[in-house]
Chains A and B, each alone.
Chain A
Amino acid sequence: MSTHVAETVVDYDDVVARFDPVLGLEVHVELGTVTKMFCGCPTEFGAAPNTQVCPVCLGLPGALPAVNAVAVESAIRIGLALHCSIAEWCRFARKNYFYPDMPKNFQTSQYDEPIAFDGYLDVEVETDEGMRTFRIEIERAHMEEDTGKTSHQGGATGRIHGADYSLVDYNRAGIPLIEIVTKPVPDTGKYAPEVARAYVTALRELLRGLGVSDVKMEQGSLRCDANVSLRLTSSDPLGTRTETKNVNSLRSVERAVRYEMTRQAAVLDSGARVVQETRHWHEDTGVTTSGREKSDAEDYRYFPEPDLVPIAPSREWVEELRAALPENPAVRQTRLKGAWGISDFEMASVVNAGALDLVEDTVALGSDQGAARKWWTGELARIANEQGVELQDLPITATDVARVEALVGAGALNDKLARQVIEGVLAGEGTPDEVVASRGLAVVSDDGPLLAAIDDALAAAPDVAEKIRGGKVAAAGAIVGAVMKATRGQADAARVRALLLERLDVTED
C-alpha cells in the first residue's frame, strides 16, 4: 500500500519525562436505526452503491428532512448513560461546505445546542501504582447525519489529489451519527495512549450495552478522531493540537496517540511550532501524515436548520428513558468482579480486551469463570489481535467456548486437544462436537491401548523404568511423555500416570 517516511520522533520515555500530553477524543457512532436520520431509506451495510437513496438523502431540489425519532431516543439514552444533561430544547444547524459526498453541500448537524452535554465516563488503566481510574469529562454528544462515501480512482495515493476521477456512494449519506466529544483530558502523563484506548473501549462497551449501534470500528460504525497536544507542564496553557483521523481499531488509538506525542516532541525540540491540522493514521507503517490544514478560521457558516423544528424532549420522557437504561458498565463490572471473585486488574484485562460480554455469556452457559477468561483474553484475544479484528467478530461464539470447556470438564478433551478444537471452529470446520468427530480428537479413555503403550514405553527405556521402581517417581514424567507422544496427545496424562505407577507398583510420595 502506501509508504510514508516517518518523521523525526523522540523516544517515548524522553517525551513523557519532558512534556505533558493533553488528549481530546471525538467519537462518531453510527446508530443502528433501521432507517436514516432524515428519511425512510434503509441503513443496512454493504448494499450495492446508490441503492439505498431517495430524494431526501440525495438532496434533490424540493426534498425536506424529517427527524428519525428513534435516533433522538438513542441520542438521549447515550447522553444519559454518559451522565450528561439533556437539553430541554435544541435545534439542528447547517454546517455549510462544498464537498461531493455531501448531497446538499451542507451537513445537518447540531452546533451550539447539542442534545446532551456535560457528562463523564470513568475508565480504568493499569499504572505502575496499580489500577487507576481516570475520569474523562464529556463536553457534548450531538446528532448529525453521515456523508456519502467517496472513492478516488486512479492516481497513486487513493486520495482526491492526483485521482483520475471519483465515485460517490450515497448509501451512507444520511445515516444517523452521534458525535461524542470529550473536554480536553489532562493529567494522563505517560498513560495517555492507554487512557485513550481505555476510553474508546469503555465507550464502545457502553454503546453496545445500550444496543444503539453495532460499534464496529473496521466497518466505520464507530470512528475515533484523536486530538493530541503537548505542553511543558500541566500548569501551562494548552499546546497546539493535531487531529488524527482514520484510527480504525482500539490498538490504533493507542498507537496513534503515542506516535503523535513522539512526533510533536520532535517538532517542538527542533524549535518549530506544531501545525494545527488534520493528520491521517497509517496502520501499516504506524505513522501519521499531514492532511489538510485546519484552522479555527475555517468558516462553516452555521445557522439553525430552518427545515426542522426544535427538539424539546419532555422531562417525563427523559426520566422514562433514564429508568429503562441497562445496568451501568461500572456497576456491572463491580457486580461481576464480586461474583467471579477476581481482582480489579483481572476485570480490567477482560474489559480492555472487549471480552466482558463474551466471558459473561460463556460463564452463563456453565463454564468456569477462570476458564472462560483464559480463553477469551488469552488465546482468542491474541488471534483477534493478529487478524486485526474485534474479538466478537471471530467466527466463534460463547456457546462454542462453553462447549469446549464442558468437554474438558468431562475429561473428553485435554488442554492441548481443546486448543485444536478451538482452532477447528475458527477454521470453519463446524461446532466443537463436529470438529472433535471429524478430526478424531477424543481423549483415549480405554485403559487397554494405554497399558499397551505404557509397556512399549517401559520396554524402550528400561533404565528409566528401573529408576521409577527404585522410588524416583519424578522420572515417571519421561514415560508419560512418551505415551502421550505415542497416542498423539489423545490420552489423559493424569490417567496415564496413574496406570504407569500402578503397573510398576509404586505410589506417589
Chain B
Amino acid sequence: MSTDLITLTAAQTAAVVADGSVSAVEVAQAHLDRIAAVDERVHAFLHVDTAGALAAAAAVDAARSSGVTLGPLAGVPLALKDVLTQKGIPTTCGSRILEGWRPPYDATVTARLKDAGVVILGKTNMDEFAMGSSTEHSAYGPTHNPWDLERIPGGSGGGSAAAVAAFEAPLAIGTDTGGSIRQPAAVTGTVGVKPTYGAVSRYGLVALASSLDQAGPCARTVLDTALLHAVIAGHDPMDSTSADVPVPDVVGAALRADVKGLRVGVVKELGGEGYQAGVRQRFDETVELLTSLGAEVVEVSCPHFPYALGAYYLILPSEASSNLAKFDGVRFGLRVGEDDGNPSIEQVMGRTRAAGFGPETIRRIMLGTYALSAGYYDAYYGSAQKVRTLIQRDFAAAFDQVDVLISPTTPTTAFKLGEKLDDPLAMYLNDVATIPANLAGTPGMSLPIGLATEDGLPVGLQIMAPAMADDRLYNVGAAVEAALLDRWGHPILEEAPAL
C-alpha cells in the first residue's frame, strides 16, 4: 500500500484523502518511511519533522471527520526548502552560520501551506544561502541525484528536486534567483516553476538577492505544480514587492493543455554552441512536437541575453553582500571566538563570519562589496542594471511577436559531483538560460522532455511567459507533458533506477 501512496500525484493523493479511502496520516507515514529508506543515500533533507508532519496530517483527518471541506492539497506531503522559515523548525539555509537557529515566525509561503492543510515533512538541502547549481555548497554535504547518485541534483534547490524525484514527497517548495528551481527540475526529470517576480510573497524567504529571488512550486506533474502554485501565490502586505493583482488561473490552464494557434518563440541565443548534443536533440524534437500540436513555432532573437550572466553576477553578489550582513553573531545563530582573548565586537563579528560562511558565500560577498564600492558602483552595479533594462526590453519585444518563449533549461544534463566545484565560471554557466527570466522578473517553467541519448539523463524544456501570464506556462507545459506521456506510455521517472 505505502509504495502506491508515494507514487501518487499530489492531485490523486488529495482526492483519496478527501474521499476518505486513505488517511492523511497514512500518506504522511508512507513518505516518512520512504525518507527513512532512501534519504541516507539521496540526502535531500536537512531536517525531517516527523512529529510535526504526523500532527499536521492528523489535523487534516480530524477536519475531514468533522465535515470540513478540504482544500485541493489538504493532506498532501511537501518538502520545504531550508531557506524559508517555519516557526520552531531549524532553518539553516545550508549554512553553518545558522546552525541551530529556530525562527520565531512562519514565512508567508509556510503559513499558506499550513492553512491549506499541506503536510510539511521537513526542510530540504540547498547550496549555502542558495548560491550554487549543484547543492555541493551546502555546509551539510551534497544531495545526490536519484537518477545517478554520483551526480549532482542541480542547485541551489537540489534537495527539493531530489526529494520529489526520489518519491520522498510529491510536492516541494523551491526558490529561484537565477534558476534554482528550474535547473534542478531539468536535471532530475521533474517540473519546477519560477513564478512572476512578486507573485509569491518573499516574507520569510531568507534573502539572497532581493530583486531576483522568487519562491515557487516543484512536483512530478504540471497539474500538481499548478495546484501548489495556486496555494502559495497571491498578494501579501508583508512583502512590499508582492504584486497586488489576481493570481492567474494556473490550474485551469494546466487542465486546458491546448496549444493550437499559440505562437511559440525559440530563443535564438539560448541553444547551439555550448549545449550538449543530447539536450539539443530532445529540444528540437519538442519543437516538432509543438508544431504537430498546432502551435506556430518561430525563432526569436533576444540580442542582449548573452550579457545576462555577466549582469547577474554583479547584481546578485551586490545585493547578497548587503543581505548577508545581518549574519554577525550578535542576535542569532553562530557566534565564534567571544571568549578568545578580549575581543572587540568587530573581531567577534569577523570570526563568526569567517567560520560560519563557506567559500562560495565568501566569494560572492567579496564580489558584491567590491561592485558596490564608491568609484566602482557606476561601472559595475550601475552598468549591470542597464543590462537588466535591455534584457527586459528583449523580452517585451519578443512577447510582441509570440505568446511564450522556449529554450533548453540547461546546457547539459546532470554532471558528476565534484566535476565543477573548483571552477566557479563553469558552474555559473549552468544558469545561462534561466537567468534572463530572473533579471526581467518574468515567469519560467522547466519540465522533462526525455533522456539524453549519450548519458540517459533527463533533459528539461524551459518555457517563459510575460509577467503575470504564468498561466501560459501551465497550458503549454501540460500540452507537452500529455503528448510525451502518450508517446512514452509512462511517466519519465519510471525510467530512473530504483533506489
A-side contacts of B93, CB under 8 Å: 61
Bound CA span A166–B344, Å: 10
> Which residue of the partner chain, among A58, A59, A64, contacts B239 with CB atoms under 8 Å?
A64
Bound CA span A52–B210, Å: 26
Q: Residues of B with Cβ closer than 8 Å to A?
A: 84-85, 91, 93, 98, 101, 103-105, 107, 202-207, 209-211, 237-241, 318-319, 321-322, 325-328, 330-332, 345-346, 349, 369, 372-374, 377, 381
Closest Cβ of chain B to A161, distance in Å, is 8
A-side contacts of B206, CB under 8 Å: 61-62
A-side contacts of B84, CB under 8 Å: 62
Residue A340 at the B interface, CB < 8 A? no
User: Can you give 18 A-B contacts (C-beta < 8 A)?
Assistant: A60-B104, A61-B93, A61-B101, A62-B105, A62-B205, A62-B206, A62-B207, A64-B240, A96-B322, A98-B349, A103-B326, A160-B345, A166-B345, A299-B374, A302-B377, A303-B318, A308-B240, A308-B241
Bound CA span A60–B203, Å: 11
Known: A106-B322, A106-B325, A301-B373. A64 touches B103 (CB 8 A): no
In the complex, number of A-B residue pairs with CB atoms less than 8 Å apart: 102
Closest Cβ of chain A to B93, distance in Å, is 7
Bound CA span A299–B321, Å: 14
A-side contacts of B374, CB under 8 Å: 297, 299, 301
Known: A55-B104, A62-B204, A301-B373. A96 touches B325 (CB 8 A): yes
In addition to A98-B325, A307-B240, 11 A-B residue pairs with Cβ atoms within 8 Å of each other are A55-B105, A59-B331, A61-B93, A62-B85, A62-B105, A62-B203, A64-B239, A94-B322, A96-B322, A166-B345, A302-B377
> Which residue of the partner chain, among A61, A66, A67, A308, contacts B103 with CB atoms under 8 Å?
A61
Residue A47 at the B interface, CB < 8 A? no
A-side contacts of B104, CB under 8 Å: 55, 60
Contact across chains for A62 and B103 when beta carbons are under 8 A apart? yes
Residue A392 at the B interface, CB < 8 A? no
B-side contacts of A67, CB under 8 Å: 240
Using CB atoms, name the residue of chain B closest to A98.
B349
Known: A66-B240, A303-B381. A59 touches B326 (CB 8 A): yes
Interface string of A280-314 (1 = CB under 8 A from B): 00000000000000000101011100111100000
Closest 9 CB pairs of A and B: A105-B325, A306-B210, A301-B372, A306-B211, A62-B204, A61-B206, A62-B206, A62-B85, A299-B374
Closest Cβ of chain B to A347, distance in Å, is 46
Known: A61-B98, A62-B204. A303 touches B377 (CB 8 A): yes
Q: Which residues 424-483 in A have Cβ within 8 Å of B in the complex?
A: none
A-side contacts of B325, CB under 8 Å: 96, 98, 104-106
Known: A166-B345, A303-B377. A64 touches B326 (CB 8 A): no
Residue A100 at the B interface, CB < 8 A? yes
Bound CA span A103–B330, Å: 9
Residue A364 at the B interface, CB < 8 A? no
A-side contacts of B369, CB under 8 Å: 301
> Which residue of the partner chain, among A98, A160, A302, A307, contacts B207 with CB atoms under 8 Å?
A307
Closest Cβ of chain A to B146, distance in Å, is 29
Bound CA span A96–B330, Å: 16
Using CB atoms, name the residue of chain A closest to B237.
A66
> Which residue of the partner chain, among B205, B237, B331, contacts A103 with CB atoms under 8 Å?
B331
Bound CA span A62–B86, Å: 11
Residue A268 at the B interface, CB < 8 A? no
B-side contacts of A306, CB under 8 Å: 209-211, 241, 319
> Which residue of the partner chain, among A98, A299, A302, contacts B328 with CB atoms under 8 Å?
A98
B-side contacts of A299, CB under 8 Å: 373-374
Bound CA span A106–B241, Å: 19
B-side contacts of A58, CB under 8 Å: 331
Residue A209 at the B interface, CB < 8 A? no
A-side contacts of B349, CB under 8 Å: 98
> Which residue of the partner chain, among A64, A103, A303, contacts B322 with CB atoms under 8 Å?
A303
Residue A6 at the B interface, CB < 8 A? no
B-side contacts of A103, CB under 8 Å: 326, 331
Contact across chains for B330 and A100 when beta carbons are under 8 A apart? yes
B-side contacts of A62, CB under 8 Å: 84-85, 91, 103, 105, 107, 203-207
> Which residue of the partner chain, among A64, A104, A106, A308, contacts B238 with CB atoms under 8 Å?
A64
Residue A63 at the B interface, CB < 8 A? yes
Closest Cβ of chain B to A60, distance in Å, is 7
Using CB atoms, name the residue of chain B closest to A296.
B374
B-side contacts of A166, CB under 8 Å: 345
Bound CA span A103–B107, Å: 19
Residue A186 at the B interface, CB < 8 A? no
Most central of A65, A160, A301 by chain B CB within 10 Å:
A301
Known: A61-B326, A63-B203. A98 touches B346 (CB 8 A): yes
Q: Which residues 38-79 in A have Cβ within 8 Å of B in the complex?
A: 55, 58-67
B-side contacts of A59, CB under 8 Å: 326, 331
Using CB atoms, name the residue of chain A closest to B84.
A62
A-side contacts of B332, CB under 8 Å: 60-61
Contact across chains for B203 and A64 when beta carbons are under 8 A apart? yes
B-side contacts of A297, CB under 8 Å: 374
A-side contacts of B377, CB under 8 Å: 301-303
Using CB atoms, name the residue of chain B closest to A150.
B345
Bound CA span A308–B381, Å: 18
A-side contacts of B205, CB under 8 Å: 62
Known: A166-B345, A303-B318. A63 touches B328 (CB 8 A): no
Using CB atoms, name the residue of chain B closest to A61.
B206
Closest Cβ of chain B to A132, distance in Å, is 41
A-side contacts of B103, CB under 8 Å: 55, 60-62
Bound CA span A106–B345, Å: 16
A-side contacts of B209, CB under 8 Å: 306
Contact across chains for B91 and A61 when beta carbons are under 8 A apart? yes
Interface string of A166-177 (1 = CB under 8 A from B): 101000000000
Closest Cβ of chain A to B389, distance in Å, is 14
Closest Cβ of chain B to A53, distance in Å, is 10
Interface string of A85-98 (1 = CB under 8 A from B): 00000000010101
Using CB atoms, name the residue of chain A closest to B83.
A62
Bound CA span A222–B322, Å: 29
Bound CA span A457–B116, Å: 97
